[in-house]
Amino acid sequence: MKRPLVVIAVFYCLGIILAGLVRINFWIITSLASAVFAAVTLWGRKNWIFLVLVLFLALLTGYLSMRNSWVLSNCHIRKLVAYKDSSRYWLNGFIASQPEFKNNHLWFILRARQIQSDKLRYKCCGEVLVKMDFELALNYGDNLMLMGNLGRPPSFGRSQSYRDFLARQGIYLVMPIKDHRQIIRQDKFNGVGLIRGCLWLRAYLEQVISRNLPPIPASILAAMVLGQKRNIPWLVNNSMVKSGTVHILVVSGFNVGIVALMINLLLKILRFGRKARIILIAICLLIYCVITGATNPVIRATVMGLVFLAAYLLKSQPDIYNSLVSAALFILLINPRQLFDIGFQLSFMSVLAIVYFYPKLKVLVHLELCRIKILKFIAEGCLVSFSAWLGTLVIIALNFRIICPITVLANILIVPLATLITLCGFTLVLSGLIYPDLANLFSLPTAALITLLLNINAALIKLPFAYIYL
């Protein structure tokens, strides 16, 4: 088998899907998986029987992984609070995410450690989404005592997507805070110091962007470089959805590649050795992953980058399929419910479609016969865009009820612009980090490119049949 890891990952995913369709006694599946594992271990000859056993084991492992993700510990806060309970609780814990003010509310995740109702106090675990009706200077790691009601997350009418999204993150309860008197600050800091440092750096870089750019360009650049989309106006985001170019507002493999390239260039100038460069680049990629929020596209790109760095270190040839599957398995082993997340599906399907369809389309149209470089470059852009569109067409149509025929043309025009904006954006934030006055030199071209991008996008979605709602 040429790529066994790819086939194993497919069967692992099938096991996750099967767990959502069929309920079989957990211990029966566990016993069966143990028996198959023993058979695989003892089977010396790697023939077709061995292969069948390995794939069956991957299927059972996916099933058990998904079933296990539904099991909550006895001290989990979800088990200690009834959904329709109107009691007031005191909740002690620390902030496990950087607080964000959006839609006139301050949102953050509190990692609970103790819960008290009346005079009963219990140790607990789990996370709660806190919604505050006012702004307050809070940071990751702050230790708090909160008083309020605990209830289910909102479902926004008949849609359960938001509630399901939070459940996939392990969040089942929301605590609304309406008054300052419901909060007691505690001096002790919790959390990971490295994460707090990365989040501080992100906040500082956001300030660099906001100081040097007008509000709308600043919000777009913060999304493209730092992964922060909260300030993007709804009209801008909606127009990007209609043109099928909203992916440029997400930090992805291109951004991770730029970070790796810049760090490698700097270390070469400083005359670092090959092994030292690889190790330092890997560390910088992990830090950038934390800074940008460790979303699925960033984790995918980071894991793939680390796989390529490891192959380069070992002087072996990396395989794009195995690297992509390694990233997917890394995420799914931690949280198998991510398989049903739209962001996860779009992130991996777009890359997989480009890797699979692009070479075949390139051969089909005989692109190698084109001798004019500019035409060949445009044609390659068309094929890459068309490949990504093919791979994500069904997912977007089913989940967003929209088809965007203009996507291929839009990506040909907008993606090169987005590339220039990203390069200018990285230069702006790095210069602002080293010497703040230098950032002003890059603010004008960056703002001009973003304005041009928005105008092109607005013109494209006005074309007939640019997008079709289903």
**105-117/127-132 β-pairing:** antiparallel
Sign of torsion over alpha carbons 336, 337, 340, 343: negative
Q: Give Cβ neighbours of residue 169 (< 8 Å, ≥ 6 apart).
A: 127, 335
CA distances in angstroms from 369 to 361, 364, 366, 376, 404, listed in the order given: 14, 11, 6, 9, 30
The predicted pLDDT at position 45 comes to 66
**pLDDT tens across the length of the chain (470 residues):** 677 888 999 999 999 999 988 888 888 999 999 999 888 887 766 677 888 888 999 999 999 999 998 888 888 998 888 766 678 899 999 999 889 888 888 999 999 999 988 778 889 999 999 999 988 888 898 999 999 989 888 765 444 577 888 888 889 999 999 988 899 988 777 777 788 888 888 888 888 899 889 999 999 999 988 888 888 888 888 898 888 888 888 877 777 888 888 888 888 888 888 888 888 998 988 888 888 888 778 888 888 888 888 877 777 777 788 888 888 898 899 889 989 888 888 888 888 888 888 888 888 887 777 777 777 777 877 788 888 888 888 888 888 888 888 888 888 888 888 888 888 888 888 888 877 777 788 888 999 999 999 999 999 999 988 888 87
Question: Which pLDDT belongs to residue 437?
Answer: 77
- Classify burial at 57, counting beta carbons within 10 Å of its beta carbon; exposed 0-12, middle 13-18, buried 19 or more: buried
Q: CA-CA distance, 39 to 33, in Å (whole number)?
A: 10
Residues carrying CATH 2.40.50.140, the chain? 77-191
Residue 177, strand partner residues: 132
The Cα-based distances of 245 to 346, 425, 453 in angstroms read 13, 18, 11
Angle between helices 48-69 and 320-334 (to 10 degrees): 40
- Residues 134, 132: Cα–Cα separation, whole Å: 6
**Cβ neighbours of 123 (radius 10 Å):** 11
- CATH 2.40.50.140 for domain 77-191, yes or no, is yes
Distance between CA atoms of 297 and 273, rounded to whole angstroms?
30
Looking from the CA of 171 toward its CB, the CA atoms found within 13 Å total: 21
Phi, then psi, of 402 in degrees rounded to 5: -145, 145
The CA–CA distances, whole Å, from 144 to 33, 78, 147, 166, 218 equal 43, 19, 10, 22, 32
pLDDT value for 257 = 81
Find tokens 């997400």 and name the residue. Answer: 250
Handedness of CA 218, 201, 298, 189 (dihedral sign): negative
Could you tell me which residues come within 8 angstroms of residue 111 by beta carbon, excluding any fewer than 6 positions away?
93, 94, 95, 96, 125, 126, 127, 190
Report the candidate in 253, 306, 260 with the shortest Cα–Cα distance to residue 281: 260
Find residue 128's DSSP bridge partners.
Answer: 110, 173
